[in-house]
Amino acid sequence: MAMIGMNSFDIEQTGRVVQVPNNDIARCMYYLSCVCNTVECNEGQIERYTDYENYWKLSPAEHQIVFRLCITLSPDEFEDKIFFQNDAMCGNSGNEFYKIGQVQNRLFVVRSLMVAGRTRRVTNIMTYKQHWMMNNYYGPMSRLADRFNPQRQLMRAIEAADCTIS
């Protein structure tokens, strides 16, 4: 793990402005795209599952693959390693990317990371605001969990209707 000091390096933002469709699968695919922007993702089909602009091309079975990939590549695996909640470093965006070696504010950055049982080289870090993570991971994943688990969907409907089963 490397500690980057406040004045050690010039800062270079590498993010760009994107438009993510307002669709849970598209948002999860965007999240996966962000993961792949921070660590090497050179698996054969991963590009298909990160092309959020073409989310509509995926089959229902592939929707479940995206969901399972997001569970496997959860923010919990990356928090304070390559994902950092830091509003100031995001500026006016919900998230921002920085090149490794050009990070400020004493962030602890790892050079490699174990992902799905394999060591991956870290290429960038991502800072984010809490609302970004809610909009692009936690919210969509919660709704998709309901969609893919009928029992959970039923329990939420019962809770929403304020029903009591006795």
Q: Which residues pair with 121 in a beta bridge?
A: 112
pLDDT value at 164 more than 70: no
Among candidates 153, 133, 151, which has minimal Cα distance to 143? 153
The pTM is what?
0.79
For the chain, domain boundaries: 2-161
Report d(CA 43, CA 36) in Å as an integer: 10
**78-131 per-position pLDDT tens digit:** 998 889 999 999 989 999 998 876 544 445 555 556 666 666 677 788 999 999
Question: Under 8 Å CB-to-CB from 11, ≥6 apart: which residues?
Answer: 98, 102, 103, 104
**35-74 per-position pLDDT tens digit:** 999 888 877 688 999 999 999 999 999 999 999 999 999 9
Residues 83/95, Cβ–Cβ less than 8 Å: no
What per-residue confidence (pLDDT) applies to 101? 63
Report d(CA 26, CA 73) in Å as an integer: 16
